[in-house]
Structure 1
């Protein structure tokens, strides 16, 4: 069943097609603050809290990838947006893939940042083990003090950023987080990606464990009109460790192709 997600608008409607930003599992729309502000100089930006996250409703699970897609399209309909760019991070990248595949007429350009596709058997085994941990004990058991998401240098230089993220992450509703994480852990759209016909930007950190460069390269190989950017010395928290790089790449891709 579709839900009305909490959302925020940045920038003003204009000639540019709106851009919708989709955050990752365990996060919320504030994760996009820097990028949203940068992109809003060019046109309207929409960001929202996924079901089960932030200020959006937290219905009982299980969740399916198509639930997230339906919520996304319902928000576009509510805002009167016929066609938009869709940019997703992590789980949001998976949702962006699904939106682009299921509703190609609603997407002008797509961006998959630190997204997943084509896990190896070993990677599937590892993420399913994390899923079992989450379902048994909640998000706190996979927090790892941020070491999985942030480089050691960034953690040392910006402890306040890491602390704020960890506080937000640990405040997630355990059941809703587990329901969303199951979608991330068990959904793989690699074999469908060849059908994406819109221009697509694929980006990840060179040190990302959950969304390693080989996944992004596999996506790039399958999507005809795609660009690939691997950001050096960055893990999964690319929106905090390299916000200018992400914002500049997206602005160039979306507004100055």
Structure 2
């Protein structure tokens, strides 16, 4: 079911809710819409209703030509929860969605029950960024192929030829892509991470070159009581390549009593 919620600044946000049970908000990566979660959201439906959104600038949401930020995206999530009449939810964010989820838990702790942060970084000067070689490769004409290689191992790609839902929303206008890139690049929650009170699980792929895996440890060291799990040999899209292990791990974490 697709709904529309209006953000504080009047931007229309497309929202999708599936399943029944305790609400679980799933937050996608940079420049992606809700289809990022198409292959895995059903894994959580035995216990949860899953809630996704098209970030502003993507999918069926509004695409204002104005600065975006991970804090703004977090405020948009609050607007979604308000629009659906949900007081509290579990939250699972991957890639830029993990950065957005950080601010959601920091600025709106009363809205977050349990928190899962996947293939994310704390941002700012303390984060370990991708190499200059990777940055250059993402600027080449074959950047889509490079991104697919950063997401998945060659063996997994050979067995799963796609199409992949994690390579960006092709319908995005140029200004929205620019604003998404800046929002992700300017994220810096380092000083605020110790304020997170929600039980937190941090997940990462061991061979992630898009967001190096050491960032998982950095995040977990800043959040009181956070747990870490690293998937051996996996790249950025561990949640697909390591399914169902990753989904089972998340489901088990979310099911534990507080």
Same fold (TM over 0.5): yes
Q: Which residue of 2 aligns with 1:224?
A: 224
Cα 1:209–1:125, aligned 2, differ >3 Å: closer, same or farther? Answer: closer
**Structure (1/2) with the larger helix percentage:** 1
Q: Relative to structure 2, which stretch is displaced further, 57-66 or 90-99?
A: 57-66
Taking the TM superposition and a 5 Å limit, the aligned residue runs for 1:3-18 are 3-12=11-20, 14=21, 16=22, 18=23
What is the count of residue pairs matched by the alignment?
A: 246
Structure 1 segments, 4+ long, off by >3 Å, are 118-127, 168-172
Q: Which residue of 2 aligns with 1:247?
A: 247
- Aligned to 2:79, which of 70, 74, 83? 74
> How far apart are residue 239 of structure 1 and its match?
2.8
Q: Which residue of 2 aligns with 1:49?
A: 54
Cα 1:208–1:66, aligned 2, differ >3 Å: closer, same or farther? Answer: same
> How far apart are residue 65 of structure 1 and its match?
2.2
Listed as ranges, the gaps of 5+ residues in structure 2 are 1-8
Cα 1:70–1:36, aligned 2, differ >3 Å: closer, same or farther? Answer: same
**Structure (1/2) with the larger strand percentage:** 2
The 3-state SS of whatever aligns with 1:159 is: coil
Cα 1:191–1:175, aligned 2, differ >3 Å: closer, same or farther? Answer: same
Asked whether the equivalents of residues 4 and 75 of structure 1 are also in contact (C-alpha less than 8 Å), the reply is no
Give the distance between the partners of 1:116 and 1:197, measured in 2 at CA.
18
- Aligned to 1:158, which of 135, 160, 163? 160
- Aligned to 2:149, which of 135, 147, 150? 147
- Aligned to 2:104, which of 96, 99, 104? 99
Asked whether the equivalents of residues 3 and 71 of structure 1 are also in contact (C-alpha less than 8 Å), the reply is no
2:207 paired with 1:202: no
The 3-state SS of whatever aligns with 2:30 is: coil
Asked whether the equivalents of residues 93 and 115 of structure 1 are also in contact (C-alpha less than 8 Å), the reply is yes
The 3-state SS of whatever aligns with 2:77 is: helix
Asked whether the equivalents of residues 123 and 186 of structure 2 are also in contact (C-alpha less than 8 Å), the reply is no
TM-score w.r.t. length of structure 1: 0.86
Cα 1:205–1:70, aligned 2, differ >3 Å: closer, same or farther? Answer: same
Give the distance between the partners of 1:145 and 1:26, measured in 2 at CA.
13
Give the distance between the partners of 1:33 and 1:256, measured in 2 at CA.
25
Q: Deviations over 1:32-80 (max 9, x none)?
A: 1233211111022111111111221111132122221221100000000
